[in-house]
Each structure stands twice: as structure tokens, then as C-alpha cells.
Homo-oligomer: A and B are copies of this chain.
Amino acid sequence: MIPTMIRSLMLAGLLLGAAAPATIAQAADPLASWNPGQSKESIVAFVRAVTTPGSGHYVPAAERIAVFDNDGTLWPEQPMYFQLFFTLDRARALAPDHPEWQTQEPFASALKGDVKGVFAGGEHALLELVMATHSGMTTDEFEQLVSNWMAAARHPTTDKLFTQMVYQPMLELLEYLRYYGFKTFIVSGGGIDFMRPWTAKVYGIPREQVVGSSGKLKFEVRDGTPVIEKLAEINFIDDKADKPVGIQQHIGRRPIAAFGNSDGDLDMLTWTCSGTGQRFCLYLHHTDASREWAYDRQSPIGRLDQGLDVARDKGWTVVDMKNDWNTIYPPDTR
């Protein structure tokens, strides 16, 4: 009745396989979309150091925690955060029930697709818009809305499904790290409930390894059916100094590797790379205006200003997307 060592290993293999098919790690070059150079070398050297027993930098598997920002790090964030496209679509869908939105900001701007108008109200207006469109339903209902939208909505510039616009080099990196025993987490300012329905399929990151911004929730039994209701109240904004807080609340351990692209990720990278032992911090620098977008110090979305200086000062890896990546997106057949 009792399984043998072989069975145990097979089972383990199957379990891991469910989250992260080993196709890329088994390819001739597991980081094939990364051009030879400093960025790629720094990744490989770090992974080799912390996974080689007796290297002096060896880190036990349980401590190999790697955290990834999402917007601008695993997929683009231009011309605006992808969740905002979803939010505007939700506002349009809900508008018939809210005649007052026709004249009330930020809803009036949202319904006209006037993103600048929405942003004119500042962070408060944006949050008001998100709260109004992401609440008043159960978590199960919201999940269905997100899944339906993800299966159909397309990016205005590329006409791709949003899940087809994830960065191929980062997919390879995620799988490479997992192959070497890392546990990969998303730590994003985006909505936790917006990401979880698709991160396992798209990134190989299960929903329990997704940290993000959230609204308050309420459990109740409604007509005999237990539900969790999404309330129109902010619970947690997972950005800037609260990224290390989100990490502590959800993971409870300081990561040894962190990946981001904006000043909003700086505290997460600082927290990660100030730990003892070998650490790895990487910034994606959006430098590819033809294949993706080029922006940094002046961009209202995904601004990378202070972070760029700190990265250079501390010797973190700064990926030049134009020169370091030979591919941006996966083939459309995925």
C-alpha cells in the first residue's frame, strides 16, 4: 500500500509539473530570449551561487523566495495599467444602473474613455472608480467577470489578448528560477483578485503566491448560501513602502531576489537586497520604443527615476530591454 521512493518522486514531479511545465528549463538554453551579456550573466551567476551546495553562498530551498512586480515587469503597463482597461469596461457595463455617473467624476470621464480626466482627480478618484466597479458582488462573481474579460478583451495598440502580452524573457526567468527550487511570488500594486484568476495559467504562479492591492471582504450566509462579498472599501494598497509590508504579511520571509521596473518597487528591492548573504535585485528598464515602450524618469505610469540611480549606485542588474531581450512576447499560438 505504501508508495515507494520512486512513486514519491514521480508524484512530486507531477505536482510541480502542474504549476510549471519543465519545457523551457529543459531547452538547450533555458533563457533563450535573453541575449548574451551582463544581465543574463548576473542572473545565471546568482542562481548558481545560491543553489550550489558548499559554494559559500548556498541558500536552502525553503528560503529561495523570489518576488516579481507585475505591471511593467511581467507584462506592459502602457498606454495605461491593463486593469484600468478592465475598470473602464466595467464602468460602461454598470453605467445603465448609475445614471448619476453621466455627470459625476471620475465616472463621467471614465464612461467617455477619457483617462486623463480620470487621472485629473488624483489617486483618490482612481480608487473611487476601482472600488465602485470591483465591489458589490461576490468573489466568485468577480472572478467570472475577470476571466470572461481576459478571454476576450484586446490591447488597443497590439490587438493581442492581454495574456498574450506577457514578457517571454520573464516567463523563461520564472521557470528557470522555479526549476532551481525558487518559489516565485507576484507582489504587485494591481488588484489581487484581478490577477489570481489567470496567474497560474499564464505565469505558472498559483493564486496563493499572488500579493496585491485589495478591498475589504465580508463573509456571510445569504439565503442559505455562504458567499464572500467584495466591499467598496480599501483593505491594502500594495505599493511603495507597503510592498515590503505585503511581503511580510503574505510570505513572512524576506525574499532573496526581487524584480521590478518602477520607483514603486524600490522599497521592495531595497528590503530584499539589504538582507544578509547573496541577494539579487533587478530593474527592467523600458528602452524599446519600437517593440514595446520607452519611458523612465518622466513617465506618469511606471516612473523609474530614483530607482535607476539607486540601482546603479548599488550595482543591481538593470535590464536594457531593447538590447538584452531578443523577444518581447510569446508566439501567438500559446
Q: Which residues of A line the B interface, CB within 8 A?
A: 2-3, 5, 8-16, 18-19, 22, 25-28, 30, 60-62, 65, 139, 179, 181, 183, 185, 192-193, 196, 200, 206-210, 214, 217-221, 225-226, 228, 235, 241-245, 248-253, 267, 270-271, 274
Contacts and interface: CB of A to CB of B under 8 A. Distances in A.
Contacts of A217: 245, 248-249
Nearest to A217: B245
A135 B240 CA distance: 22
A139 B25 contact: no
A329 to B, nearest CB: 24
Contacts of A242: 219
A210 B252 contact: yes
Given A60-B18, A245-B217, A207 B251 contact: yes
Contact of A2 (B10, B28, B249): B28
Given A61-B18, A244-B219, A192 B252 contact: yes
B221 A270 contact: yes
Contacts of A185: 208
Given A61-B18, A241-B220, A25 B10 contact: no
Contacts of A2: 25-28, 30
A25 B248 CA distance: 32
A62 B18 contact: yes
Of the listed residues A5, A206, A225, the one surrounded by the most CB atoms of chain B closer than 10 A to its CB is A206
A252 B11 contact: no
